[in-house]
Homo-oligomer: A and B are copies of this chain.
């Protein structure tokens, strides 16, 4: 079989799908067709009949706009992506959306498209696979292949992530950098002057550069990269973007769909018949043979796995069994005034004990965010079992790496930084919400109560801006008791990320707070003792304030999570916020934009950035 012929057929599929959709990105699937053969036809180990095989090589298309690359090769390789699916590229409800979507198409490891994120996800997958080795030994010898372009490489999140990959010596990570010297707008030389190979060596990568249209050379480089130990690997594949498409190849115009008007001539150059969506019998036969080999390899591995399973039943159950729901009923009640970040740190120790697969990260702030797992050890090349990830001052990479760990679905990732710096990782948080990843964010140093550090470090709009993200649950516990409930709720959520907003300052443990009620989003924390005249609504540190200002006719409702409350049955919502009571005052040390939906008539919130002064004075300034 001529592998170059297969490459050209993949080019044809991309051209036909994008021409049919009149939309899409031709540049990468056409430019990287030989890379595709090298990966799916030769170097990568996978098994479409068990697409989530634990020891498969993972493939991440960080340059998600080149989605037809992925769909074409998944189709050829035997995944559940049919030619009809490819014909429906970018159409409503198809398996082949504009950018790859995790959970939607088998074989798609990550939701990618926003540039740079896939590189971070790949690092996370590599971390997860390294950590699996701590449990399964050499049963796990998978690699993570990540294909990215100049766009990904220019993004800060990628550079942060690569620094960590090198620091952790993730030699199971192989980055394929589709280096075609062209970005969407122009030649790469318009925006870049670096010596990439030197830069990557300086970071700590093994570097190879190959002709991306020479399949043998690419395969050889990938095989060498697979064998390399001690350093992550980058293979710089020099390609011609849109190779073979007249007028556009090698130029910025090749990126998008403008090449479709040259489809006919391109097909001729590629040696393809006029029939669209063409895959030859030889190609089918090649991949059938490949599948048979992969199937053998899978079966051999499965035999070893079965033996391991018998000998390691408990570990097997831990990794592959049903996860039990977490209960923190037995966690002792905090008696004293305590910062919720501190309370959180103590509860985390208990969670870590109950679930050995629970991990946590901090962006150079373990000392402040208090989420260090005391018996967890530090993840490193020398301690792949370590459960604390020291990610440095790289919030965005932390977000993308936590997503990668969550995509792999063995370890339960959480990560911490100051709430105000959640902005630095926001694009990754958005993707966690979209891809329904159960990441837990521990964001401390809430509100202007941060004090002396001043407005740059005081989140005021941050909680509201997080509430905007669909499928992100935001929890702002009022005290240590609600913090216990928040962690239980977050842990038990499986279909999306949860943010827990924690105080730097000490907060009293309030009388009426309840860990159990957190899951309902809002509840009466102090009932009116006489006829109801007013409702006070508050979250977090302001629940105490609301209670302090309540009189006998006031009902105080603690509101740890609007998203969870809004999901409650109407009965519960009406019982909590009596609709007949129109006098409603909200207290929250945020911009407070979300309270209007509860028909509040008064709002005590913060409408400007904060200021630098001791906490008590700042709070007095804003809540006179």
Contact = CB atoms under 8 A, between A and B. Distances in A.
B167 A163 contact: no
A12 interface: no
Nearest to A450: B98
Contacts of A390: 185-186, 190-191
Interface stretch (A75-83, A286-294, A451-459, A546-554): A451-459
Given A160-B155, A394-B155, A420 B101 contact: no
Contacts of A183: 364, 392-393
A556 interface: no
A109 to B, nearest CB: 15
A51 interface: no
Interface size class on chain A is 35 or more
A192 B202 CA distance: 12
A470 interface: yes
A167 B93 CA distance: 43
Contact of A394 (B154, B184, B451): B154
A340 to B, nearest CB: 20
Report copies per complex: 2
Q: Which are the 6 A-B pairs with shortest beta-carbon distances?
A: A156-B156, A191-B392, A97-B612, A113-B456, A198-B202, A92-B613
A597 interface: yes
Contact of A112 (B21, B199, B453, B456): B456
A421 B456 CA distance: 22
Interface string A448-490: 0001111111001110110111110000000000000000000
B184 A194 contact: no
Contacts of A21: 452
Nearest to A366: B185
B464 A114 contact: no
9 contacts: A65-B453, A154-B394, A156-B397, A163-B192, A183-B392, A191-B364, A191-B393, A252-B367, A460-B470
Contacts of A203: 194, 199
Nearest to A150: B393
Contact of A454 (B97, B184, B457, B594): B97
A308 B354 CA distance: 75
A577 to B, nearest CB: 14
A356 interface: no
A431 interface: yes
Interface stretch (A315-323, A513-521, A603-611): A603-611
A140 to B, nearest CB: 24
A615 to B, nearest CB: 10
A421 B154 CA distance: 14
A63 B597 CA distance: 40
A393 B609 contact: no
A349 interface: no
B204 A202 contact: no
Nearest to A183: B364
A184 B367 contact: yes
A489 to B, nearest CB: 21
A115 B452 CA distance: 17
Interface in A199-252: 199, 201-204, 252
Contact of A594 (B114, B186, B192, B593): B593
Interface string A375-415: 00010000000000011111011000000000000000000
A157 interface: yes
A193 interface: yes
A111 interface: yes
Nearest to A466: B465
A523 B447 CA distance: 35
Nearest to A469: B461
B367 A185 contact: yes
Given A185-B365, A194-B203, 18 more contacts: A23-B451, A90-B614, A91-B613, A97-B455, A98-B454, A154-B163, A155-B156, A156-B157, A156-B158, A191-B391, A191-B392, A191-B394, A198-B198, A198-B201, A434-B609, A464-B465, A465-B469, A468-B468
Interface stretch (A29-37, A39-47, A130-138, A422-430): A422-430
A591 B468 contact: yes
Contacts of A151: 364, 393
A613 to B, nearest CB: 4
A584 to B, nearest CB: 13
Contacts of A199: 199, 202-203
Contacts of A468: 461-462, 464-465, 468, 591, 593
